[in-house]
Structure 1
Amino acid sequence: MEVIEITHPIKSSQFVEEDIALAIGFFDGIHIGHQEVLHKMKDVAKEKHLKKAVMTFDPHPSVVLNPEKKRTTYLTPISDKIDAIEKLNIDYCFVVNFSSTFADVTADEFINQYFIQNHVKAVIAGYDFSFGKYGKGNMTSLKENDYPFSVHVVSKQTLHQDHAKISTTDIRSCLELGDIESCNLALGRPYSIKGMIVQGEKRGRTIGFPTANVQPSDDYVLPRKGVYAVKLLIKSKNKMYDGVCNVGVKPTFHDPEAYQISIEVNIFDFEESIYGEKVEVYWYHFIRPEQKFDGIDSLVKQISKDKEEAKRLLSLENG
């Protein structure tokens, strides 16, 4: 897959010379709704004998358009998003820098420069996708005009009887509430965070529960502070391990207001040193909120219970 990074104004050297079918969107999380857009694009490309392309944006438009509620953490940071798109056997991935300059591009300018001049012969997006200054361009207006490309609109994708659409915003909310099951259902896979094992306080080993301290590799949305049943992939071994994970500030030992949030995984039946290893944490079940204990004994007793509960929950996942 060829990745083409674009900073507006787009240059002629960044145009694709082959006719393409283009799926367009922010695609944070690449959840089930996004997957439907991408699968539709692949179907259209096959039917019309076009190359397969995806256009996404970085950073999130809210950084420019809504600074009071700007989104700077992601379900899939840009590097993860590109990796996931590449696994779909896509030919081209355009990453457009969403800047103040780009935000001033009118809908007509966007259509002419990013679609027509770029050999786009089919545009595929969700029903609520908008583009151009003030979001004045949308999929309905694209369909109503006679452009030299076909327009394919993917309808609202839902999971529940309330017919609420699957959205990145709702998935983020689920993570913040600790509702991992709903998050994973909407994603169509377990939520995951990539990182590296770094030195921690080594306090866990002194109480019989050594942990691997995971330093996230990017600005991920962190789940609610608490204890989770997880799986940990050690990249160099290409092997997955079951574990119990604490996300939080360890209030039994630290001032919650002064200590940075950490991700620490107790890997079951594992005693190797893995400092410096690249890993990926897969989140399966929320067990309990983080809490402060009145002493080491009560903490150890609770961790033992958490570990057994994590083993029980993961045994169900493992079949």
Structure 2
Amino acid sequence: MPIAAHYVLTVLIWGLTWTAIRLQVEAASVDLAVFYRFAMAAATALAVLAVVRRLPRLSPHQHGLLVLQGLTLYSVNFLLIYRAAETMTSGLLAVVFSLAALFNAFNGWLLMRLVPNRRIYPAVALGVSGVALLFWHDLNLGNATLPAILFALGGTFWFSFGNLISLRVRAADVPLLAGNAWAMFYGALILGTWCLIQGVDWHLPASDSFWGATVFLAIPGSIVAFYSYLTVIRTLGADRAGYATVLFPVVALSVSTWLEGFEWTVTAIIGAALALLGNYVLFRKPSQVPAAKAKGPV
């Protein structure tokens, strides 16, 4: 599959997960909802890979890296972001999370000495401004406490850190599908342990919408989307891949237009246009300047 298709697939699926997450947490606590998502994702991925015999034996070092990936991409980051969502409007949360591309560029330089793409800064400036305009009404409402803002920033940073861990996993020659399956398994173990520590009331929700949302979040939203997203990271780098976090709020609001009657204001339209313009700035190919023709003797 072309890398552009992986990028578009990531944006589309994660744009749809916003609605699924809302349906899921209406029927269960945040901690339990996230646990069910990754427990189902890990069980499905490991079972399928075992059946088709694509589950290789990995070394303790490789498993150690996958524990870190599970800790950063498939557990703690979600707990922090969902904690923020309890007291912060979804719009402000989307603005904070859209900083992931900038976090990826900074952390990549700080921790791995990766030189960021020079287009990332104008692209992120356009993208974050666009997301802010998309959710301008939410931002005017405020309703964000300092702990909520810190949770949102922490979750975004932790997600960014997981993006860089995925590059370490690639360098350790871990197959992507098998690595994701094991990392989600470790993430589910971490989430299950956290639920036990928190004394969560373990129960199986009876709501059909909960299980429909959980299946969508586990399989397309986790197995497929993270496979595509990490493929983009491995090909284009964490900084450019992170721009997907700017675009999926645009998809989410497009879905909301259909399902919930979201009305597009002039501000929202300008915001969506800025987010798309940032994507163009980041990925457009440099113009080819034709070489000057050599002049013959006069």
- TM (norm. structure 1) is 0.29
The structure with the greater share of residues assigned to strand is 1
Instruction: Point out which structure has higher relative CO (alpha carbons under 8 A, 6+ apart).
Output: 2
Rg (Cα) greater in structure: 1
The structure with the greater share of residues assigned to helix is 2
